[in-house]
Structure 1
Amino acid sequence: MAKTDYRTIDQYHDVFPEETQERMEQVRNLIKKIVPESEEVISYQIPAFKIGKKFLIYYAAFPNHISLSSPWSEAFLKNFETDLEDLKISKSAIQFPNNKPFPLDLIKKMIAFRKKELD
């Protein structure tokens, strides 16, 4: 992908295939539903949501996966340890492969957990 200067999440979504756009829109809608007070922004040229000055979560699309990013706490990683064992994870990113069902229930729980961490 060429260097870009996204100003909105819609601009970011528009450059991806339809199936990827749908997955990203599902994440976006979950965040809006669970954390309606969050603000949509572009940070590091990817979609992000923040509450005040604190970043709740980022997401990004890649050819083979959708990535959710945040500075995951030890409590977060411990809480979701079993759910994440088949996924590629780091201290700041979790990759959800495009060739597997998109775990919206898990993502919903993760967003809610992050919201509680920021409260």
Structure 2
Amino acid sequence: MEVFADFLAKIDHPDHRLRTEEVLGWVANKYPSLVPVTKWNQPMFTDHDTYIIGFSVSKQHLAVAPEQAAMMHFDNEIKESGLKHTKEIIRFPWNKPFDFTLLEKLIEFNIWDKKDCKTFWRV
């Protein structure tokens, strides 16, 4: 997880830093075949050089970006979770428990759906 050290060091709020480190560590441990990288100053994980999941932080939440195909596939679950979201990201508030079950579904879907993908982003 050394690849994310600079990103994590820039998170001022200690609880937000710990939560982000926890989530990134969870992904790295659960999916050891995924490659942790930092691109565009954001931590993300790739598989065979294709994007699987990315993260960003704000004052109010940890944002998870699984790409639109995964967002559309899990649209109902995302809405039922009560989490705020856009077409591209899901906002996981700092003051609530993190939904690792939803994150796992998003990652598993992207690994499966992009197994034959030859580009970084879906085309």
- Gapped regions of structure 2 (runs ≥ 5): 116-123
Cα RMSD (Å) of the superposition? 2.0
Q: Aligned residue for 2:77?
A: 83
- Normalising to structure 1: TM-score of the pair? 0.79
Give % identity: 22
Greater relative contact order structure (CA < 8 Å, 6+ sep): 1
Residue of 19, 24, 27 corresponding to 1:23: 19
- Normalising to structure 2: TM-score of the pair? 0.77
- Stretch of structure 1 that moved more, 39-48 or 77-86: 77-86
- Gapped regions of structure 1 (runs ≥ 5): 1-6
Give how far 1:60 is off.
Answer: 0.9
- State the secondary structure of the residue aligned to 1:8: helix
Distance 2:26 2:110 in 1: 13
**Moved segments of 4+, more than 2 Å:** 76-83
Equivalent residue pairs, number = 111
Match status 1:110 vs 2:106: yes
Question: What are the Cα deviations for residues 57-80 of structure 1, in whole angstroms up to 9, with x where unaligned?
Answer: 11011100000113220xx33442
Residue of 5, 8, 31 corresponding to 1:10: 5
Question: What are the Cα deviations for residues 33-77 of structure 1, in whole angstroms up to 9, with x where unaligned?
Answer: 33212111111111011112201111011100000113220xx33
Question: What are the Cα deviations for residues 85-109 of structure 1, in whole angstroms up to 9, with x where unaligned?
Answer: 1222222211111122211222222
Distance 2:106 2:78 in 1: 11
